[in-house]
Structure 1
Amino acid sequence: MNLQRVLAIAGKEWREIVRDRLFFSLAFVVPALLMLLFGYGLSLDVENIPFAVVDHDRSAASRDYAYRFIDSRYFQFRGYAGDERDASRLIGSGQVRVVLVIPPQFGKSLAQGRPAAIQTLVDGSFPSRAMTTKGYVTAINAAFSLAAVAQAVSQATGLSQQDALAQLTPIALESRYLYNQSVSSIWSLAPKLIMVILMLSPPFLTALGVVREKENGSIFNIYASNVSRGEFLVGKLAPYVAISSVNILLLWLLAVLLYQVPFKGSLLFFLPATLVYVLCTTGIGLLVSVLVRTQVAAMIVTMVVTMIPAVLYSGLIIPIVSLGAGAHVVAQLMPAMYYTDIVVGCFLKGVGLMSLWQPLAILAGYACLLFAIGYRLFSKRPST
């Protein structure tokens, strides 16, 4: 391989990138823009849920029950509704997501030691949020019920309410969240967004860069020259790998400085591992470029083969263990899943090569395989 030829092709490609403003924007501006849009627009935190109350009892006990929800940071009080018909209208119009229906004689039933049934109407159009909301309602209801029982025991036995509560709950459960103590969704999403963006951008740029040579006819200069396949491919792809390397640093800075995600690992491991992942995704773009002839086709195919794995089969939103048997197998065949383990391990868990050598080795093998196939399929002879 002649290094001078490789540098000449790489220099030519870089000049074309700089000369084309749209392509330059795609290379440097779009990745950062995607990080901003996804980071601020995609949130898995379920808080400030709008809710209303239908209070048929209007007693001190019913108000106390309602205020347990009003004072919670997970709910946002939107007022009282007259009846169940008004409640259904509010949920149907999207003004509220939850309605608590407190029955008549609620306070009297509690005072007499009889159970009282509370109806909760939850908007189920967003199933995951609905299940989380149901969990919040159940937890607040359980806390209120336990407090009511403790008060009754206190009045019957003369114990203080705190002692009665301690006797009613002999086992105290203390939960501690590891790696993400505040359970903030952005801490989990921001590192994974690096995975998504680096799955989309390098193949997109690579596929368009190579296919553009076919469309404008300049590829025939390569066919007629004494440049080898390897020299052409290395020189052609080197600028895109360099651009992606700059984007790696930019995306890392946005995650750490803008979204305040802690980085507990080592940059000496994270940066080379991410570069291996970039080589994988660049290989995907190379493979697409040798299979299609037009830039439109390159864009469509690249979006299909990168967007779906990056969103559905990487653990971005749905954990891999929650996927079905078939989807789990598909995820194992995608590089995005392995890099997700690496980026989450580096950011939140503070682990390095000793724990992440296996996904890194798989990514390296994936990159070698893609480049071998791309090299094999690329021909210096024009197809007829």
Structure 2
Amino acid sequence: MIRQGLAVMRRELTRLWRDRGLRGILFLGPLLGLVLFYATYSLQVLKGIPAAVADLDRSGTSRELVEQITNAENLKVVAYPGSFAEVEELIRRGKIVAGVVIPEDFGRKVALGRQARVEMVVDGSNMIYATNATSAMLSVTRTAAAQAGIRALVARGLHPDQAGEIYQSVVFREEAWFNPALNYAFFVVLALALNVWQQCCMLAACTIVIGESGAKSWCQLRAAGVSRLWLFSCKSAVHLAVFMLAVMPLYALAFLAFKLPLNCSFPVLLLFTLAFAAALHGVGTLASSFARSAVDATRFGMIIALPSFILSGYTWPLEAMPPVLQQLVKVLPQTWFFQGLSYLTWKNPDWSFIQPYFLALLIIAAVCYGAAAVIVCRK
């Protein structure tokens, strides 16, 4: 029986290796994706966000504010329009992402200690640009507002130190944990590359059952006394080994060459990846078992694999999704994997915390393999 199993494994490994297209997808697809994604996010933090400042006041106070905006760390002032309409046109044409309009009475109101309103407009059609531009703008305007308030108090006779203490009586300190620089590359690159890997694995898994239909070798194996259970167990073992072999260069490149963060131990990450590979392969096996052709099986697998990353809660919180969808996505192994991946790479959780993620993946694998076995036996 062991000799038969080894023969089946050798046969399956040969079949996978001879399929040049599948071999290239499994081993080169994720690596190419990792390199491209890292190159895309190599800047790590958005800088040089194009902005414009319209100074309608042209007072000393407004010019000081313009200078502060011009010197902002992540902004690049590329235009100084003379009206709000010009700012609007620049945003509409995509020349700038953010614009600041300083009103004509800005300096006078600041000198009198009155509220002075500065208009800040941001192009919200690109959420990444808009969020970063807003953050950079608010940082400048908060500083400018505090300085203006201190000057107003000094003009009323307070000592500069007293005025400063009044404005600094409540200080909010902003501190980002686990990813202090808010590095985009650290956040998305590995997850996007693993998303490519899981889609490639799903593509291969969907051939495990339907690939045997009508094959002469299947008749030979049945004649040799190889049971269905032993046949597909050996084939599955080969697939899982190939999946893990394909992910190893990806991890090596990510953690050793690109220095992406990994706060848990590498063996724990590999074990978690293996549990996900088993669950993913189980889903692919189930799709392969009830498909009428290899094309159908691939379609079923891709319908599941393609949107799963968006639905996993990695880039958009599960809590922000409709309650019904929150429950539905829990049947997808990708949801548990990418959620757990975030905790493992960033926070190094203890076993009691990460255990449910392991269990969920193993349960999904067991259910899918069991359902596939029932379907195959009835055929």
Q: Please give the TM-score of this superposition, normalised by the length of structure 2.
A: 0.90
Distance, in Å, in 2 between the alignment partners of 1:320 and 1:143 is: 35
Q: Does the aligned pair in 1 maintain the 2:51–2:97 contact within 8 Å? A: yes
Q: Which residue number corresponds to residue 30 of structure 2?
A: 31
1:321 to 2:293 alignment: no
Q: Which residue number corresponds to residue 85 of structure 2?
A: 85
Q: Deviations over 1:274-323 (max 9, x none)?
A: 10111000111111111223333233221111121222x21221012222
Q: Which amino acid aligns with 1:145?
A: A
Q: Does the aligned pair in 2 maintain the 1:269–1:352 contact within 8 Å? A: no
Q: Does the aligned pair in 1 maintain the 2:34–2:190 contact within 8 Å? A: no
Q: Which residue number corresponds to residue 214 of structure 1?
A: 213
Change (3 A) 1:19 1:195: closer
Q: Which residue number corresponds to residue 55 of structure 1?
A: 55
Q: Deviations over 1:329-350 (max 9, x none)?
A: 1232222222223222221112
% same residue: 21
Instruction: Give the superposition deviation at 1:198.
Output: 4.3
Distance, in Å, in 2 between the alignment partners of 1:19 and 1:246 is: 16
Provide the secondary structure at the position in 1 that maps to 2:116: coil
Which range moves more in the overlay, 121-130 or 97-106? 121-130
Distance, in Å, in 1 between the alignment partners of 2:367 and 2:376 is: 14
Q: Deviations over 1:113-147 (max 9, x none)?
A: 23222222221223565355434433422221111
Provide the secondary structure at the position in 2 that maps to 1:157: coil
1:339 to 2:330 alignment: no
Q: Which residue number corresponds to residue 146 of structure 2?
A: 146
1:366 to 2:364 alignment: yes
Distance, in Å, in 1 between the alignment partners of 2:335 and 2:89 is: 43
Change (3 A) 1:212 1:168: same
Distance, in Å, in 2 between the alignment partners of 1:154 and 1:234 is: 81
Change (3 A) 1:48 1:25: same
Provide the secondary structure at the position in 1 that maps to 2:213: helix
Distance, in Å, in 1 between the alignment partners of 2:358 and 2:335 is: 11
Q: Which amino acid aligns with 2:125?
A: S
Which range moves more in the overlay, 173-182 or 140-149? 173-182
Q: Deviations over 1:202-240 (max 9, x none)?
A: 221121354344376654545555221112212222222
Q: Which amino acid aligns with 2:48?
A: N
Change (3 A) 1:21 1:163: farther
Q: Which amino acid aligns with 1:20?
A: D
Map 1:216-365 onto structure 2 (within 5 A): 218-222=217-221, 224-311=223-310, 313-365=311-363
Structural RMSD (CA): 2.5
Change (3 A) 1:27 1:198: closer
Q: Does the aligned pair in 2 maintain the 1:191–1:347 contact within 8 Å? A: no
Q: Which amino acid aligns with 1:378?
A: V
Distance, in Å, in 2 between the alignment partners of 1:69 and 1:291 is: 62
1:137 to 2:134 alignment: no
Q: Which amino acid aligns with 2:345?
A: F
Change (3 A) 1:37 1:379: farther
Q: Any gaps of 5 or more consecutive residues in structure 2?
A: none
Q: Which amino acid aligns with 1:86?
A: E
Provide the secondary structure at the position in 2 that maps to 1:138: helix
Provide the secondary structure at the position in 2 that maps to 1:378: helix
Provide the secondary structure at the position in 1 that maps to 2:171: coil
Q: Does the aligned pair in 1 maintain the 2:206–2:287 contact within 8 Å? A: yes
Q: Which amino acid aligns with 1:291?
A: F
Change (3 A) 1:122 1:10: same
Q: Which residue number corresponds to residue 67 of structure 2?
A: 67
Provide the secondary structure at the position in 2 that maps to 1:52: strand
Instruction: Give the superposition deviation at 1:194.
Output: 5.6
Q: Which residue number corresponds to residue 176 of structure 1?
A: 175
Change (3 A) 1:114 1:176: closer
Q: Please give the TM-score of this superposition, normalised by the length of structure 1.
A: 0.89
Q: Any gaps of 5 or more consecutive residues in structure 1?
A: none
Q: Does the aligned pair in 2 maintain the 1:264–1:347 contact within 8 Å? A: yes
Change (3 A) 1:308 1:217: farther
Which range moves more in the overlay, 126-135 or 315-324? 126-135
Change (3 A) 1:128 1:185: closer
Q: Does the aligned pair in 1 maintain the 2:29–2:197 contact within 8 Å? A: no
Distance, in Å, in 1 between the alignment partners of 2:299 and 2:273 is: 25
Instruction: Give the superposition deviation at 1:262.
Output: 2.3
